[in-house]
Amino acid sequence: MKEGKKAPQFTLKDQSGKSVSLKDFLGKQVVLYFYPKDDTTGCTKEACNFRDDYSQIKKEKAVILGVSADSEAKHRKFVEKYDLPFILLSDENKVVLNKYGVWQEKNMYGRKYMGIVRSTFIIDKKGNLKKIFPKVNVTGHNKEVLEALRS
């Protein structure tokens, strides 16, 4: 994955079971963020930060798409619980997670396992990768994203 290259295309189901494709958003900027799990501390903070900045993100003619391996039903509960105004996509088969290179071996307390490395991709109006944020630190990330959308 390199900035300036075409973003890999995909179609996934959202929290309502509706198919959503990246190409649906040509002409808008896309904040495509990958996160490990609904309703966990870091993921909730990240989603709520994006929610709180949602009106500013919309002003930049951008949409937010969150992706994890959680089910549509889990996404629906997460959206309802925190009143999230954006789309969450379910990638239970990890096809898109692998396309974007965010499904990786992780290490916690000496235990190795496969999981999602929290990452964000800003995709420009033409479908190209404008900015990549690998291994995101949740604190202040929403402000970094806003800055990237404005540049």
Give strand pairing partners of 7: none
Of the listed 22, 43, 69, 149, which one is catalytic?
43
Residue 43: active-site member? yes
CB 103 within 8 Å of CB 97: yes
- 3-state SS record for 43-74: HHHHHHHHHHCHHHHHHCCEEEEEEECCCHHH
Return the exposure string of 86-115: e unless at least 16 CB atoms fall within 10 Å of the residue's CB, then b.
bbbbbbeeeebbeebebbeeeeeeeeeeeb
Catalytic positions, written as ranges = 43
